Structure 1
Amino acid sequence: MSFHFTPDLSPATGRPDIEVSLPEEPRQAFPRRAMRAAVAAGVFLGTTFAIAVVFFIPVIVFNLSRIEALEIAGRHIPVTQFADELGALFWGTFIVALAFTSFIASLLLFATGRIIRPHRKPVRTDDALVHLNVLRLSGAER
């Protein structure tokens, strides 16, 4: 079947005179991206600090319940040493909270709304197995 195109311009009347491409999305400026990164880091650290405080509350309640005029477990401890011990306990709890927050952040970043599917390699036409399968299928039809 052969087609002949007429020199008539009537099929081209519906097309625009000038080709217009879709506008590209503007790239974010560096200060804006830096501000978003700083806000994300601030939210991350604030959340970590809040979780550390929540985790630390049982520790502080337990340690405050043991105080008897700064005599702990039968020995006298100065207030500064007790405050140092509480500070060390808090920073240990902060590290645990940091690990917990990092785990939750990684889940939110990498697993939100995505379905994990196995990656299949495309079949190459120059692969010998493809040709063998084609020969095997065509061989029974002979």
Structure 2
Amino acid sequence: MNSHYPQDLSALADRPDFEIPSTPQAKVGLAGRIGRAFVSAGVFLGVTLGVAVVLFVPVFIFNLSRIEALEVAGETIPVSLFFDQLGALFWGTAIIALAFTSLMTGLFVMAAGATIRPRSQPVGKEDALVHLTVLRLSGSER
């Protein structure tokens, strides 16, 4: 039986502690990569806009409930100034939504990577005897 590592224990100790599985990468052409980039950017911007709208709806409803014939908080203001204030509030929530979707995108990108698992170490007879000796010595001497 062929083995990648020699069978002596010193060679087993030199192995890496973690096994990183390699994932086969399909070769994608330039057009495919550009297409994926546009789709990713479109999905990212769409999700950002959706989150911005969801976050803006309560602000919009709250501000609409304050309007009494364009008298806001006891002050009469022109309609254009009111819509400018609403626009500024929307862009503020859009910036918060951009930060949120950037965080979520970063988490998804990090979670989509290869899984790193500890390499399983087979227990040999010599290793088991050493562990039993340690357990025997640490049991009654405590």
Aligned equivalents of 1:113, 1:34: Cα separation in 2: 21
Alignment CA distance shift 1:25-1:86 (3 Å):
closer
Alignment CA distance shift 1:25-1:63 (3 Å):
closer
> Is 1:50 aligned to residue 41 of structure 2?
no
> Is 1:92 aligned to residue 97 of structure 2?
no
Q: Deviations over 1:34-93 (max 9, x none)?
A: 011000000000000000000001000000000000001111110000000000000000
- 1:135 equivalent in structure 2: none
- 2:59 equivalent in structure 1: 59
- 1:110 equivalent in structure 2: 110
Tell me the number of residue pairs that the alignment of Structure 1 and Structure 2 aligns: 95
TM-score, length-scaled by structure 2: 0.61
| Percent identity between the two aligned chains | 58
* SS of residue paired to 1:90: helix
TM-score, length-scaled by structure 1: 0.61
* SS of residue paired to 2:68: coil
Alignment CA distance shift 1:112-1:26 (3 Å):
closer
Alignment of structure 1 residues 10-21 onto 2, 5 Å: none
Alignment CA distance shift 1:88-1:116 (3 Å):
farther
RMSD over aligned Cα atoms: 2.2
Structure 2 unmatched runs, 5+: 1-23, 119-142
Letter in 2 for 1:91: W
Higher RCO (C-alpha 8 Å, min separation 6): 2
Letter in 2 for 1:60: F
If you compute each CA radius of gyration, which structure gives the higher value, 1 or 2?
A: 1
- 2:28 equivalent in structure 1: 28
Q: How far has the Cα of 1:116 moved from its partner?
A: 5.7
Q: How far has the Cα of 1:29 moved from its partner?
A: 1.4
